[in-house]
Each structure stands twice: as C-alpha cells, then as structure tokens.
A and B are shown apart, each in its own frame.
Chain A
C-alpha cells in the first residue's frame, strides 16, 4: 500500500516543478542579520540599543531597594501585599523559588545585554567603538557580580554555557577589561557622549570596583579609589551645581554633576515612572498626573530621621499636608491628607489612617500636568557628588583625615549642614552621610554591605543572616544551566 502511495507521490513530485516545492522564507518586515550593519548609520542603530539596555538599570534595581534601610514597602490592608514579596525583600527572607521572578529579571537583563554586546563586538573593528562596547560589557558584569557574586564571564559569542566563575575571578575580568578599554575611550563629556561610556565613566566604574574590592576579593584597594576618583574630580569637566536638586529635575540632562545617566522621555523612551509607585493615590490631584498613582514605597522612619531639619536634602521627602493643584487641602476618606513619616508597622490594616503613613521621595522632580504615566527625568547612575564622597571615604580609611574632611565637607556645605571635624567624621557618620546624599539612588545596598551594616538591625527587622549579602542565583538559571551552583545559604 505504502509503495503505491510512494509511487503516486513520486509521480506527483515529477508533475510539479521545483518552484512548487520551494520553501524559502521571503522576509518583509524584519531584517536577516547578514543584510544589516554595513553603513555607519546602521552600525549606530545596532550599538545605540546596547546603551539603551543601561536604561533598564532603574526598573530592575529599584524594587530590590527595600532590602536596605532607606526604603520600605509596607502592606496596607491588601494594598502591596503582593504575595508577601515586599515583606520578604525588606526582612531579607527572600528565597530562590518564590522570588525567582524578581532576581531572574535582573540576571536576564544583564546577560541578554551581554550577548547582544558580544555579537556586535564580533564585527566592530573601530577601536573607540570597540573600547566602549568592552566597557559596557564590563558594566553589566559588574552589576551581575555585585548582586549575585559568583556569576558567568561571557567573553564573546559562542555556544554552550560558560562555566561559573568566583566573584574574585569576575572582579579580575572586569578590572582587566576596563583597563584595556580605557586608552581608546573619549575624554569628551556631554554632547555626543551624553549617556555613553567615556574615560570618566570607566574611572567611576573602576573606583566603584576598588571601593568594594575588600567585599569582592578580600583585599582592599583604597588607594586606587583615590586615583580614579581624582581623575574625575580633578578633570575640571564636572562641577557641583549650587542647587542640589537640579541634577534630578525633569530637564536634568544639562547638570554638570552627571557622569553617567540614562536618557528617558515620557513618550520617546518610557520607563522612568517613580511618581507612580511612591505617590499617595490622591496626589494625582496635587501633580495633576495622567493616571492614579499606587501609594507604595516610602522612607524607613529612622532613615528619614537621619536628616536634620537644616539639611537641604531633607526636602526630597514629601511629608505633611498635601494640596491639590488648585491649592485646596487634600483629604482621604474625610481624613486630612497629611503624609506622616512614621510608619507604624510593616503590615498594617486597610484604611485612610495607614495609607498616609511614610515619607514619600520626590528627589526626582515629579512632573506636573503630565498626561503620560512616564516622566522626562534622566536617571543618574554616577555623579560627581558620589565620586567626592568615595574619595573622602577612601582617604578616611587610609588615615588621610585632612583629605577626607576636605571632600566630605564640600558635600556637607552644599547640603547646608555643619562641616565635619576630625573628631566627628567617623565611618559610621560617613555611612549616614552617604545615605543622605545618595538616598534612593540605588547605591545603598552596596554601601551597607561595605560598611558591614547590611545584616544589622533596622526598623521592623532585628538582624539577618550573612548569606543574604548575595542574592540567590535565580532558580531558573540553576535549572537551565548545570554549570551554576547556588550561592551558599540558599
């Protein structure tokens, strides 16, 4: 029977010409990879999006900030219960399976970006572009290593899973890559190099690496921190604007303090929407927002209280009576809408009285009369103020008190608070000062770990086990990649 069918089929094949068996795909709205990337404009269109991935720094890392002492997302009635994930994040009781999604998001973001960079590095030959891509690839390795510790070194396109490296090996790789890239990078700041990796971004990245070298490798590198931060500070290409908040304004791309920022636009490049999670529901009327905000993250009370009343930076917090855009005082369920910095508990019942608790951050200017739910502010990853405090810290740890005081007090002065003296500037004070200066800029977790305070108590948490200084390697990655071993303690 089958033979008969086969014969008939064979006859059928002869009857129809080759054209009738041609299954080549004709593409219309997509571009086969081999047909693109030839002209400079096309190459730019391929390399640009690699930088665009840096723009996902804020949404990926914002939601793990409640692991620190600066941000908490309390549960108010059902609101922000979300399966207990925010409570687990705050109390360091996250785990690899239940919180796979959050951690896997960060991991995927880093390594998918690295694959795309590796693909372009295989064809780009122009030295300065190649150097930029090398530095960019090192940046994503740095983020992955800082959060997960023992990660993968992905050094070029290939197939199959590379082995897992130790944190110290990844550290060494990042250092080598950044130093190799450095000579071919531009010294131009702003203009065409705004949001891109120039020499100063790499100096800052190296300084961050050395600042935390003791955590990463066991060996401190304080002097190297001074070297690289000095290249930035002494370059004369950056300055501290008198208005602390000008670096965070809706239209902040001109700030002379910015070393590395990612560009956002409310319509052209969406993704920065910090006003939505932080504002109270009824603050929609205060700013005339395009959608209902979510009343979520707020300041940990003791963190809020670490700001003195004179501190200009304290103005980042929205507390007290809120007013509608037309000036009328807002109420909620008949209760005056007075934002109260005291958060009474991590888990609270529903109702207007718990909804108003917690100071809300408005460090990044909240855009008024915005019909979109995204904002125009660029997110600042590295800035001069940070570099100055880093040099101050390194000098303090090296015993150079005079140099340390000089740097730290520049920051104090701009904030309108009294200068430190040799007797008042301690490491504990410096950590608190970094908290005030860098609040909600996504550096706090790293700082707390470096100062040995990550597992110490904070409001609503007595202490936590040391293994939580690394996030678990996402369970999905462990399942998919047999080379990966889970971090100890998980």
Chain B
C-alpha cells in the first residue's frame, strides 16, 4: 500500500469520481485511505477531510477502498460520480496489529495467547474503571466488581488462582509505563487493551508477568482537521436487591412467636421499653435502617477530546470528569483525568517521538467500619432520634449501634493525585534497524483524612480519633531497545529485539493523629487541639515510613515467520531485583512459542467452510514477585512495641528483629504450557479460538511457619519459596455477524472458560505452611470458627471444615452428622472435625467456579444499535454467613433478623457453622446494556450525534438466597505478614450493596 502512489494512467472515456470516506465508528472523515481501481495501478489517497477524487476508465470499474485496521470495501462505479463510503473496523482480521510488549505483531504471526479489545468493544453502561469495561470480554480473565462501592477496585484473576503471597494482580502497562494504577485511566481515553495471557506472550515482562500483562494504548491524534468530541452521560443507581429484613410489626410478631414457644413465656414487647419504645401517640416505631443510610446515587460523566494534526505532528488532548455518588450516603468517588498525547515524526520519518502526559485527581469517600452490619442488625422498632432529639441508642446491648448516627458523624476520605508522563523515541538507523529509548516518570501522592465523633455511641471507644496521613509513590523507568527487522521474502521475515530496562520505585509517607477534642469543629484540620497526645500518650500519634526498590532487566526476543505458515518466537528476560535475597538476585525467564497456519498448507483445502486454521504451542516461565516488599529478605531491627523502663518510670519504644531473614528469597515461578487453535469460518465471517493451558506455580511464595526452637527464628513465619500450586483449563471464544443485512445486523461474541485449581504442596524439608485456617465464619459465638483449612491436594478455598447439617432436634439445637454418621450436637464430635483430626477433611463445597462465561451481543437496525452482555459463573458455592447471622429466632432480641426467620424453630438459639448455610452460587446476569441512536447530521460543523440509554445489572438469574452471588474472591493473603487467605465465597453482613444503574448519554463530534 505504501508503494501505491497517487497518479493516474492516461486514457480515454475516463470520468472522475469524487466522494468522502468516513470512519464508521464516528463518521469522521478518514485521511490516508487508499482508493484504487481494481486490477489497475490507478489509485489515490484521501485528503485530510477524507475527500478524494479519482479518474476511472469506465462505468464497469470497481473502486477498492482500503486502510489498515478497516474492512476493505469494493464499489462498482456504474453511473455514480459521487461515491461516499464508511469503513468498518476489522474485528477479526488477521492483519490486525497486536501490542505484544516492546513492540507489535500481526495477529496472524502470533504464537502466544493474546486477547485484544478495542475501544468500540468496551462494555456499555457505567464503567468508570477500564477493568469493568472489559469484564466478560476475555476468556480466562475473571473480573469481579465485588460491591456497589465506587471506591472499590474490581478483582482481576487470570486463569485461576496461581499465587498466595506473590501478588495476584496483572501487570498494567499504559503507553509504555509499567505499573500505572489502572483506576486512574479513563476508559474513554483507551484505544486498545491487549491482554498477554500465556507465558510465551508475557515472559518478556519477566519476574512480574505471572498474572498476565494488560497493555493499554491510549488514543492518539489522526492527521486531519481538528475533531472535537463530547461524551456526556448522567446515571442513577439503586440497590439491586434489598435484604428482606423484618420491619417493625414483623419484628414484634416474631418476638411474640419466640416467646410463646418458651415454657414460661415473657412479654418483652410489653415490658422492655428500651427495645420497644412508643411515639407520642403511643404507637410502635418501624424504621428501615438500610433505607435511612442509603440513597439513589447519581453519576455524571463529562468528557471532551480534541485531536488532529499534520503529517509530521499529531495530537490528542482530553479532559474527563466523573462524579459518582455511592449508595451509602457520605460515600462516593470523583475523578478528573487530563491526558495529552503528541506524536512527532522527523528526519524523513526515521525518527518517531511520542510524548505522553496524564494527570488524574481522585477523591474517594469511603464507608465507615461495619455500618451495613449495624444497619441490618439494629432493631426496626427503634426511632432514629429520641424525644429530646438525641440519637436513639441501645446502650449496653452488644454490638448494637445507631447506623444513622454513625453515617452522619464521620469523615473517611482520600484525595489522590497521579502525574504520569514520558517520552518515547525510536530512530531507524538504517533500513530495518531501529533503536529506541523510553523514559517515563510517575508520581502519585495522596492524603487520607479520618475522624469519628466520640459523641456517637458507636465511636465512643476511639475518643474522637482524628488522623491525616500522606503517601507518595514515585516510579522512574528507562528502557533502551534495539530492533532489527528483515524481510526475507514477501511471506517470510525475521526480527530480533534486545533491550535493557531500569525501574526504581520510591515510597514514603507519614501520618499524624490525635484524639480528645473538646469541639468537633476543627479535629483533622488542627490536630494540636486534641488532648490525647498529652493525656493518653501512645506510639502511633506520629508515624512515617520510607522504602526503595529497583528492578534491572535485560531482555530479548527473536521472531521468525516463514512462508505465512510457520512462526517461531523465543523470548528471554533476566530480571534483577533489589528485593530478592542475596543468594538469588537475578532470575532468568525464558519462553518459546511456535505457530503453524495449517490452512495455508496446500493439502488443507477449505473443509466445511473452515477457511483458516492455525495451531499455536507455547511454553515459558514467568515470575511473580510483586508480593515481596522491600527489605523482606534481610535481618533487620524494627519497632517492637514499647517496654517499661523503671529508671525513667515510663515506657520507651523497643527495637527487635521483626522478621526472619531469608537470603534465598526470590520470585515465584509460573510455568505455563499453552496450546491454541485459531479458526475462521465462512470466509472470515466467524472466528474463534480454543485454548488449553497448564500452569504450575513453583517455589510458591508464602509466609511459611517456622519451627519455634529458640535458636534461629524470631517470629512465627518466614516469607519463602516452598510450595506448588496447579491450574489447568480450557478456553473457548467464538463470534461474528450472524445477521448481516443492510439495515439489520446481529453480532454475538461468546467467551467461555473452564479452570481447575489445586494446591499441590505447602512444605519442604525446612518449612511448612503449618495449620492455616481461613474463611472465618463470623458472628456471635463463632469467634475462631473457620470454614477452611489450607490443605495440599485440594482447591484453594474449599469449605473443608464445615460439619454436615442433619436436622433440628426438639430442643431447637442443630444436630450435625458425627464421625460415624450418627447425629451429634457437639461440634467437636462432628464429621468435619473428626475428619480434620484424621488428616483427611471432607468437602462441603468449592468457592471457585469451574466455568465462567459471557455472551456479548450487538444489534444494529438502521441508525439504532443495541448492546448487551449476559455473564455467568457456574459450579461454585457460597457459605451464606449473612443468613446464618440473621436467622436465629432465639437471639431475636439481640438483632434484627431476616423476614423468613419464622421458618426456623422458635427455640433455635445456638447458631453453628454447618452445611445448612452452603448454597449454590451459579448465576447468569444481564449486565452492561445500551441502546443508541445515531443522528447522521452530515453538517459542516457537527459531524455526528448519538444519544443513548444504558445501564448495568438489569437482571440476575440465580438460586442464591443472599443479596448477590458475585462476591469478591481474591485468593491472596489478608496482608503481607499474614498466613490467612482472604475469605473466598463467604457472604458477610457487611457487604456494601450492589447497584442497578441506568444512564442517559449524548455524544457529539465536531
């Protein structure tokens, strides 16, 4: 195409055809489109505004419009003299360019597993975070938005849980900067997101690539006149599903039912004026506490982008504002993002310079501890305020606090700023040989303010603690690369890449706190006015920290593509990290991949409309080390509480060894084998991929237990490389236009993934995990009760310490199955406890689904379009702790309960962890949807207008009895020092409600 120059052959009977080529995605004029007369060398290119003019030999001539990344169109000239066309994006095209890390490749040449999502494929609806925008789009990439809290980030897990302590999040690379907080990127700035899924694709990122790499390329300017786009929407969110709690009259009825069943019934409703107060006219109250602390939440998003440029310099600048209220009052998120991208070409186009600069400011207003739990349990018979106007409190009743008082009397917010910018140079020294330098700087800082009003009963204990803390995280990246490309023939080529990278991260922060303020007018803003530092000294009023780490890398990649049939890629990266132990500072991460385009073999033919078939096989090792903190490997003195000095008559700070040193500490290795089959049907109309993978985590990082033997260990655990975990799975994605009429189209896209996870080993001859219990089944009388043990040979999170429920006995006690299959009311004799003691626990369910999938649909009808996505998860279980806590008739006076508490025996009063609370959590959700109408104005100034309505979480199909079966299942540790795994599949009483949202939007392009 580059060699097609704009000239026309001379001839007779010629006529001139003119027209405009538009980009079908935004109806803007497309410059640089090749317009040629088929079968001739007659061709031209469209100008800055997309207009062209071309002489054609006769009416039979066929014009071919082509452009990289767009579907070519052929139009017979006939009698027309003006031919306007709109070019659609190539979705499944094999010539699509894919970002593969330190470079690009054509999709047809790939050997690894790479999924690409372009801006037009992003999910519809209210999705402020890029991760929400690709939820359900990539097979094997499970993205969970655990609650309706706008300040909370989605959890992302690629192809199962592969790590406990090594880090579980993918590596994010935004325009060449490694480690950009994903929630600072506005989805409207994203051009493409490429997900490197297997080791042969990701190993080029070495010791940080095990959880996959997500490469984000932001939108850039195009040659042409300035184009201005506005994108605005407003939205409203409500609680998608409310807990069916007892209301005032229902509560009173249930109290009476429970009393009536007693041998000597009392009359709490008549006698307990504290729990059953009456208003001035003598009636009981009925308060819906959840309603009192929640609101219909509004979201508004305003986005403006200006782009354009000349042949030498293109630009795009954008400004985005997002304001999102939370369902809980006093919570929410505001974000402002500004971004500028400049692309300059110089020195005969041999020098390419890219400048990128982004600034994001985010204000997060967080919820306060356990407020949802308080709202669900506070009695509905209580008023918000007493007759004197003070908050009504049930003083002296365990864990009962007025949630409205809490909601109105705290501050808990963080204001973060992120500046990220850099310069990327590429210079072609001689044909095919390019050297590059990429320098990036990122600085994020934030201030967190926290205060609770001690006048409120719930906050009395903290004495009005006010704190302000500041953090700063700075990252500097320098990458030097050299790239050689040689075309061996028109179908064969060779390329080699070598590079060096240096990244340094510096973190520091400090905080100040005080309490005991005699007024609530200043608190955080004038900490010196508190009396706490003077009256109640402690060692955490002032805190600070600072650390640094460096990652130095050498990397290379060689690719050979032969005859459009055979592809071979090998990569190698050597990473050295300051965080690793002295004995293991450097790690080598190799990968190889091969591809065979079977359909290009002569023997292939086109069986059954199968026009393309490619087999890919890849193997490689990636590392995982983000879970290692600076200084984790060395012997250190740190602060160890305080000690009493009798000479001074006071307490002083103590110094002690705070961790066990591990000079062998290193990255965790993830070894992946990937086999993929890419195929296309019906001349490329439908395309799909089937992939199988096997992932083995070796040298698995974890805080292993050490023998406390008095001679060589100082604390209970050591961060070390010991265990093994395995994940294997199958992925399938398939899609394409099913209906392709001129007025009506329907394009579905299906992705399905199956994964099986197993912990293989947790010990070696030196260390062992020890007995690790997690998934605490909280609630009254359930301290120290855990549903899961970490057991080799079992899936992570399996509910293997849950006694089997048998029945309720006449006394209302829970009867469990004991070790011999008989009934017992003694939990110590239950089947689960006996099995654990014998070393072979029973399973009551697995919180990991074996199957996840999504079906995305796009319909167009004339100028209307409709998008929606069905997303589902199958085979997982949830332990419904929430219902357990709110379904105890015998404890009705201590907490509000679910409305169907009346279905349980009135004398049931001692709750237990049993299989009774294990539920099937499979679901299908009708999630992101949008209906739009494009007004093609064709006007001189306004080139396109689009209005749309859309939303999120319209419907859910599930048998689960809780609020929502889609829970946060992180599968990593509670904190860096912890042995306990974050809860998996435990539905708690304090979950921020999920939202159902609707939006109304308008896009304008000038």
Chain A positions within 8 Å of B, measured between CB atoms, are 1-2, 4-5, 8-9, 11-13, 15-16, 20-33, 36-37, 42, 44-46, 48-49, 51-52, 75, 77-85, 87-88, 93, 95, 97-98, 100-101, 104, 107-108, 110-112, 114-116, 118-119, 152, 154, 156-162, 190-196, 263, 265-269, 281-285, 290-292, 294-295, 330, 333-334, 349-352, 371-373, 475-477, 479-481
Contacts and interface: CB of A to CB of B under 8 A. Distances in A.
Interface stretch (B30-38, B94-102, B708-716): B708-716
Contact of B715 (A20, A112, A160, A352): A112
A170 B537 CA distance: 41
A108 B708 contact: yes
Nearest to B771: A100
> Which residue of A1, A93, A282 has the most chain B CB atoms within 10 A of its CB atom?
A1
B641 A269 contact: yes
A73 B647 CA distance: 40
B486 to A, nearest CB: 13
A33 B498 contact: no
A78 B396 contact: no
Interface in B365-380: none
Nearest to B396: A282
Contacts of A5: 496, 498, 556, 558, 570, 572
A57 to B, nearest CB: 14
Given A46-B656, A269-B644, A334-B266, A111 B554 contact: no
B574 A9 contact: yes
Interface stretch (B333-341, B826-834, B843-851): B826-834
A108 to B, nearest CB: 5
B644 A195 contact: yes
Contacts of B761: none
A118 B781 contact: no
B604 interface: no
Contact of A84 (B572, B828, B893): B828
A108 B79 CA distance: 92
Interface residues of B, number: 115
Nearest to B631: A30
A278 B485 CA distance: 77
A480 B706 contact: yes
Interface in B626-672: 630-631, 634-638, 640-647, 650-658
B836 A52 contact: no
Nearest to A295: B398
Given A9-B498, A333-B272, A480-B770, A78 B655 contact: no
Contact of B653 (A45, A97, A119, A291): A45
Interface string B672-715: 00000000000000000000000000000000011111111111
B47 interface: no
Contacts of B715: 112
B784 interface: yes
B461 interface: yes
Given A119-B657, A268-B539, A2 B890 contact: no
Contacts of B537: 267-268
Nearest to B498: A8
Given A31-B637, A45-B655, A334-B271, A152 B782 contact: no
A373 B463 CA distance: 11
A195 B646 contact: yes
A153 to B, nearest CB: 8
B550 interface: yes
> Which residue of B461, B558, B782 has the most chain A CB atoms within 10 A of its CB atom?
B461
Contacts of A292: 396-399
> Which residue of A78, A110, A291 has the most chain B CB atoms within 10 A of its CB atom?
A78
Contact of B643 (A48, A93, A107, A159): A48
Given A12-B554, A118-B711, A475-B771, A52 B654 contact: yes
A158 B909 contact: no
A85 B782 CA distance: 11
A97 B839 CA distance: 9
Contacts of B526: none
B63 interface: no
Interface in B721-780: 763, 767-768, 770-771, 773, 779-780
Contacts of B547: 27-29
A80 B828 CA distance: 14
A83 B705 contact: no
A116 B803 CA distance: 41
B539 to A, nearest CB: 7
Contacts of A267: 536-538
A156 B650 CA distance: 31
Contacts of B558: 1, 4-5
B642 A268 contact: yes
Given A28-B548, A51-B643, A479-B771, 16 more contacts: A8-B556, A25-B549, A27-B634, A29-B546, A33-B637, A42-B655, A77-B780, A98-B836, A112-B713, A157-B712, A268-B642, A284-B396, A290-B460, A291-B461, A350-B888, A481-B709
Contacts of A46: 637, 654-656
19 contacts: A4-B558, A5-B556, A9-B498, A12-B498, A26-B578, A27-B634, A28-B546, A29-B547, A42-B655, A75-B910, A77-B780, A83-B782, A115-B710, A267-B538, A281-B398, A290-B463, A334-B266, A350-B910, A371-B462
A111 B631 CA distance: 24
A206 B947 CA distance: 87
A252 to B, nearest CB: 13
A115 B836 contact: no
Given A115-B710, A372-B461, A481-B707, A84 B827 contact: yes
> Which residue of B499, B655, B913 has the most chain A CB atoms within 10 A of its CB atom?
B655
A53 B578 CA distance: 33
A112 B716 contact: yes
B909 A350 contact: yes
B932 interface: no
A212 to B, nearest CB: 22
Contacts of A84: 826-828, 833
A111 B710 contact: yes
B298 interface: no
B268 A333 contact: yes
B657 A33 contact: yes
Nearest to A153: B710
List 9 A-B pairs, minimum CB-CB distance, nearest first.
Answer: A154-B710, A78-B781, A49-B654, A48-B643, A263-B644, A114-B710, A8-B498, A282-B396, A111-B708
Nearest to A350: B909
B678 to A, nearest CB: 24
A111 B836 contact: no
B461 A13 contact: no
B630 A81 contact: no
A373 B667 CA distance: 42
B500 interface: yes
Nearest to B558: A1
A284 B710 contact: no
A281 B397 contact: yes
A321 to B, nearest CB: 15
B891 interface: yes
A255 to B, nearest CB: 14
A2 B710 contact: no
Given A52-B641, A156-B711, A292-B399, A20 B837 contact: no
Given A28-B546, A31-B636, A152-B710, A476 B396 contact: no
B651 A23 contact: no
B556 A159 contact: no
B716 A20 contact: no
A480 B780 contact: no
A107 B460 CA distance: 36
B395 interface: yes
Contacts of B498: 5, 8-9, 11-12
Contacts of B637: 30-33, 36-37, 46
Contact of B828 (A42, A93, A116, A268): A93
A75 B496 CA distance: 71
